Structure 1
Amino acid sequence: MAKDVLCEVNSCVHWAEENKCNADSIYIVSHSSQEASKSAETDCKTFEVK
């Protein structure tokens, strides 16, 4: 598992200084029913508005 998870979405409650994500876990899903082949085809469901 990754030691540090970086995120530039500073409007999220889990965003911390130096673009660190301080969520206990990360949940990412695919946009479509097909398997994602690039990051643009995914969404972070862990996001919560500050």
Structure 2
Amino acid sequence: MENFSSILSIIKNITFRNIIDILIVAYILYKVFMLIRETRAEQLIKGLILI
């Protein structure tokens, strides 16, 4: 129950600026993944992950 109340307090402290920051970072990561997906870099990254 203590964990639930701490999660609620974190959610209450989220501001509009935090949401904008999260959206910007998510968009940048999405664009990077889409750029990598269409190139040979995708194969290279998959290989590095396996190692």
TM-score by length of 2: 0.20
Query: RCO (CA 8 Å, sep 6+): is it higher in 1 or 2?
Result: 1
TM-score by length of 1: 0.20
More strand by share: 1
